[in-house]
A and B are shown apart, each in its own frame.
Chain A
Amino acid sequence: MTFRLNRRKLLAGSAAALGASAFAMGPGRAFAQEQRLRLMWWGSQPRADRTFAVTDLFMEHNPDIVIDGESIGWDDYWPRLATQVAGRNAPDIIQMDYRYIFEYARRGALAALDDFIPDTLDVSDFDEATVQGGAVDGSIYGISLGANSSAMMVNAAAFEELGIDLPTNDLTFDDLRRIGEEITANSGRSNFHGLSDSSGVEPFFENFVRQRGKALYTEDGELAFDASDAEEWFSLWAEMRESGACVPAEIQALDQRQIETGMVSLGHAAVSSAHSNQLVGYQSLNEDPITMHAYPRIAAGVGGGHYRKPSMFFSVSAQSQNPELAAAYINFFVSNPDAASILDVERGVPESAAVREALAPQLDDNGRAAVEFISELGDLAGALPPPPPLGAGEIDVTLVRVSQEVAFGQHTPQSGAEAFVAEAESILARDA
Chain B
Amino acid sequence: MTDTAAKAVLDDDRGTEVVGLDDKRKPWASALIHALLIGASILMLYPLLWMLSASFRPSQEIFNSTSLIPSEVSVDAYPRGWFGLRVSFGVFFWNSLVIALLSVIGNVMACSLAAFAFARLQFRGRNFWFAIMLGTLMLPYHVTLIPQYVLFLNLGWVNTILPLVVPKFLAADAFFIFLMVQFFRGIPKELDEAAMMDGCSPWRIYWKIMLPLSMPVLATAAIFTFLWTWDDFFGPLIYLNDMRTFTVQLGLRSFVDSQGGQSDWAGLFAMSILSLVPIFFFFLFFQRLLIQGIATTGMKR
Contact = CB atoms under 8 A, between A and B. Distances in A.
Q: Does A pair with B?
A: yes
Interface of A: 8, 11-12, 14-16, 20, 23-29, 38, 42-49, 52, 68-76, 79-80, 83-84, 86-89, 258-261, 265-267, 277-278, 280-281, 284-287, 346-347
Contacts of B253: 72-73, 76
Nearest to B160: A28
A46 to B, nearest CB: 5
Interface string B147-181: 11111011110100000000000000000000000
Listed from nearest, the 7 A-B pairs whose CB atoms lie closest are A28-B156, A258-B258, A267-B64, A44-B257, A15-B151, A44-B263, A11-B150
B63 A72 contact: no
Given A15-B151, A72-B253, A87-B150, A46 B264 contact: yes
Contacts of A285: 59-60, 62-64, 265
27 contacts: A12-B154, A16-B154, A43-B257, A43-B261, A45-B267, A47-B260, A48-B254, A49-B86, A68-B241, A70-B242, A73-B254, A73-B257, A73-B258, A75-B258, A76-B233, A79-B237, A80-B237, A261-B63, A265-B64, A266-B64, A281-B257, A281-B260, A281-B261, A284-B262, A285-B60, A286-B64, A287-B60
B150 A80 contact: no
Contacts of A46: 261-264
B67 interface: no
Nearest to B264: A45
B264 to A, nearest CB: 6
A8 B158 CA distance: 16
Nearest to B155: A24
B22 interface: no
Given A68-B242, A260-B63, A278 B259 contact: yes
Interface residues of B, number: 42
Interface string B68-89: 0000000000000000111000
Contacts of A38: 241
A46 B237 CA distance: 20
Interface of B: 59-64, 84-86, 145-151, 153-156, 158, 233, 237-238, 241-243, 250, 253-265, 267
Contacts of B264: 44-46
Contacts of B243: 69-71
Contacts of B237: 72, 76, 79-80
Contact of B263 (A15, A88, A281): A281
A284 to B, nearest CB: 5
Contacts of B267: 45
B62 to A, nearest CB: 7
Nearest to A8: B150
A48 B85 contact: yes
State the majority secondary structure of interface residues on A. Answer: helix
B260 A15 contact: no
A29 B153 CA distance: 8
B259 A74 contact: yes
A45 B254 contact: yes
A52 B242 CA distance: 13
Given A25-B156, A267-B64, A285-B62, A83 B145 contact: yes
Contacts of A265: 63-64
Contacts of A89: 149, 153, 158
- Centre residue among B61, B260, B262 by max chain A CB count within 10 A: B260
Nearest to A266: B64
B246 to A, nearest CB: 9
Contacts of A260: 62-63, 258, 265
Nearest to B256: A44
B282 to A, nearest CB: 25
A86 B63 CA distance: 37
- Centre residue among A14, A70, A266, A346 by max chain B CB count within 10 A: A70
Given A83-B145, A277-B260, A278-B260, A72 B158 contact: no
Contacts of B241: 38, 68, 70
- Centre residue among B147, B253, B254 by max chain A CB count within 10 A: B254
Contacts of A48: 85-86, 254
Given A20-B154, A43-B261, A73-B256, 20 more contacts: A8-B150, A25-B155, A29-B156, A38-B241, A44-B257, A45-B256, A48-B254, A70-B243, A72-B254, A73-B255, A76-B237, A79-B145, A79-B238, A87-B153, A89-B158, A277-B261, A278-B261, A281-B263, A285-B59, A285-B265
A258 B84 CA distance: 22
Contacts of B151: 12, 15-16, 20
B261 A44 contact: yes
B145 A27 contact: no
A308 B259 CA distance: 18
